[in-house]
C-alpha cells in the first residue's frame, strides 16, 4: 500500500526512476555490450570478456517506465549489440530482474516533502586570490621583461599558482549530497546530485530535465557511471537518520547549522559539536536552494557536515 502511495507521489511530482535492472546472458569474447534503450539512452557494459565467457549478469539500464515499478514488465526490453565481438559471441537480454534496486526505496516509505535539490548551480569562477596573483605576476613580468631568465621563472611559477588555485574552485562543486528525513523516521533519503555525470551508487537514479537521455557505463564487477549531457543526475539511496535532537548532537560535528521555527523564523547557529546541545544562534537564513519549497508550519533543521554533505530534517523540534 505504501508502495502504491509512493508511486502516486512520484507520478504527481514528476519524479521518475531511471535505473532498472535486467538479466543478460553473455557468451563468447567481446570488447563490450551496448544495450540500446532508444531515445531514453543506453548502457555500455564494458569488458573485455574472454573467449570462454558464459555468464549471466544483472545490468542497469536507463529506460523510462512511466507507470513505475508495477508495470515495468510492459516496457520493451532493450536491444543488445556486441562491440568488438569474436565469431561465436552472443548476448541475450533475458528479462527484467525480478528484484529491482528501487524496491529498497519503495520499502522505505513515501518521500512526500523530501524534494530533490534544484538543478542549477553557480558556475565556478576565479576567486580573489588567483586574480590578485595574476595581476601581481603581470606587474612583476612587465618590470622584469628585459631579463629573460627571471621573466621565465616568474611566468611559470605564477602560472602554476593561478592554475592550481583556479582549478580548485571546481572541487566538490560537481557533486552535492543531501540527506533528508522526517523527525521520528529511522530512515533518511540520501540524494547525490551531479551535473552531467555521476557515479552510480544506491538503488535509484533520476534526471532533470525529466526524460533526458542517460548513458550508463557499467563494469561487470558492479560499478558504473551515468552521464546525461546538460542534465542533472540524482542518485537516491536510503540511510539511517542522523541522531540529532536539540539537547544533544548524537551524529557528528556540524557547521554551520540553521533552524526554522514553525512560524517561519530562521536562525543561524555556528558549530554544533558532537554530544553538545544546540546553541541559541542569531538571525540568518541558509542557502536558498535548501530553504525553498519547505512545508510551512513545521520546524526545520539544515546543517553541513565536515565532509561537505548537507543535512535537512523536516519537523525538527526547534525550541
Partner 1 sequence: MGPGRLGALYLAALAVPLAEGLLDLELALGPCAALALLPWLLLAPAPRRPDAAPGGALTPALLALPPLALGAGVDLARGAAGGTLALAAGTTWLALVLWTAAAERAPRARPAAAWYASVWFLLVPFGLALRVALSWVPARGGAEPGRPAWLALDPLLFLHRWGRAEGLAELRPAECAWVLLGAGLALLAARAPAGRGVEAT
Q: Summarize as ranges the residues that interact with partner 1 (CB under 8 A).
A: 123-128, 130-131, 133-135, 137-138, 141-142, 145-146, 148, 151-152, 155-156, 158-160, 162-171, 173-174, 195-196
Instruction: Supply the minimum distance, in Å, between the C-beta of residue 51 and partner 1.
Output: 33
Residue closer to partner 1 by CB (options 75, 144) is 144
Instruction: Supply the minimum distance, in Å, between the C-beta of residue 58 and partner 1.
Output: 31
Instruction: Supply the minimum distance, in Å, between the C-beta of residue 157 and partner 1.
Output: 9
Instruction: Supply the minimum distance, in Å, between the C-beta of residue 155 and partner 1.
Output: 4
Residue closer to partner 1 by CB (options 288, 296) is 288
Record the cell numbers describing residue 116, joined without a space. Answer: 530533490
Angle between helices 128-144 and 148-167 (to 10 degrees): 170
Give the whole-angstrom CA distance, residue 260 versus residue 291: 9
Instruction: Supply the minimum distance, in Å, between the C-beta of residue 213 and partner 1.
Output: 17
Residue 91 contacts residue 47 (beta carbons within 8 Å): no
Instruction: Supply the minimum distance, in Å, between the C-beta of residue 196 and partner 1.
Output: 7
Instruction: Supply the minimum distance, in Å, between the C-beta of residue 164 and partner 1.
Output: 7
Give the whole-angstrom CA distance, residue 142 versus residue 268: 47
Instruction: Supply the minimum distance, in Å, between the C-beta of residue 151 and partner 1.
Output: 5
Instruction: Supply the minimum distance, in Å, between the C-beta of residue 49 and partner 1.
Output: 28
Residue closer to partner 1 by CB (options 7, 141) is 141
Per-residue HEC secondary structure of the chain comes to CHHHHHHHHHHHHCCCCCCEEEEEEEECCEEEEEEECHHHEEEEEEEEECCCCEEEEEEEECCCCCCCHHHHHHCCCCEEEEECCCCCCEEEEEEECCCCCCHHHHHCCCCCCCCCCCCCCCCCCCCHHHHHHHHHHHHHHHHHCCCHHHHHHHHHHHHHHHHHHHHHHHCCCCEEEEEEEECCCCEEEEEEEEEEEEECCCCEEEEECCCCCEEEEEECCCEEEEEEEEEEEEEEEEEECCCEECCEECCCCEEEEEEECCCCCEEEECCECCCCCCCCCEECCCCHHHHCCCCCCCCEEEEEECCCCEEEEECCCCC
For 112, 113, 263, the CA distances from 295, given in Å and listed in that order, are 10, 7, 11
Per the listing, cell 540511510 goes with: 239
Residue closer to partner 1 by CB (options 162, 236) is 162
Amino acid at each position: 500500500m505504501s508502495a502504491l502511495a509512493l508511486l502516486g507521489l512520484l507520478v504527481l511530482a514528476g519524479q521518475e526512476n531511471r535505473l532498472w535492472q535486467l538479466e543478460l546472458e553473455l557468451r563468447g569474447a567481446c570488447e563490450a555490450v551496448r544495450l540500446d534503450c532508444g531515445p531514453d539512452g543506453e548502457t555500455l557494459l564494458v569488458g573485455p570478456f574472454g573467449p570462454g565467457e558464459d555468464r549471466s549478469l544483472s545490468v542497469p539500464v536507463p529506460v523510462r517506465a512511466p507507470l513505475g515499478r508495477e508495470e515495468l514488465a510492459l516496457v520493451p526490453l532493450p536491444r543488445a549489440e556486441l562491440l568488438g565481438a569474436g565469431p561465436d559471441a552472443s548476448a541475450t537480454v533475458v528479462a527484467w530482474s525480478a528484484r529491482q534496486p528501487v524496491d529498497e526505496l519503495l520499502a522505505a516509505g513515501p518521500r512526500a516533502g523530501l524534494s530533490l535539490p534544484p538543478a542549477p548551480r553557480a558556475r565556478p569562477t576565479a576567486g580573489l586570490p588567483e586574480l590578485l596573483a595574476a595581476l601581481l605576476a603581470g606587474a612583476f613580468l612587465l618590470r622584469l621583461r628585459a631579463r629573460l631568465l627571471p621573466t621565465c621563472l616568474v611566468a611559470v611559477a605564477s602560472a602554476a599558482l593561478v592554475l592550481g588555485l583556479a582549478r580548485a574552485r571546481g572541487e566538490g562543486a560537481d557533486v552535492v549530497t543531501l540527506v533528508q528525513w522526517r523527525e521520528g523516521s529511522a530512515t533518511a533519503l540520501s540524494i547525490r546530485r551531479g551535473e552531467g555525470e555521476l557515479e552510480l551508487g544506491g538503488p535509484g537514479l533520476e534526471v532533470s530535465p525529466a526524460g533526458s537521455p542517460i548513458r550508463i557505463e557499467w563494469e561487470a564487477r558492479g560499478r558504473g557511471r551515468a552521464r546525461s549531457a546538460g542534465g542533472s543526475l540524482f542518485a537516491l539511496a536510503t540511510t539511517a537518520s542522523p541522531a540529532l535532537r536539540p539537547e544533544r548532537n548524537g551524529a557528528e560535528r556540524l557547521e554551520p547549522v540553521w533552524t526554522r521555527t514553525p512560524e517561519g523564523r530562521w536562525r543561524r547557529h555556528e558549530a554544533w559539536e558532537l554530544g553538545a546541545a544546540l546553541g541559541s544562534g542569531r538571525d540568518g537564513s541558509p542557502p536558498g536552494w535548501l530553504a525553498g519549497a519547505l512545508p510551512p508550519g513545521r520546524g526545520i533543521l539544515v546543517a553541513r557536515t565536515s565532509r561537505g554533505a548537507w543535512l535537512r530534517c523536516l519537523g525538527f523540534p526547534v525550541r
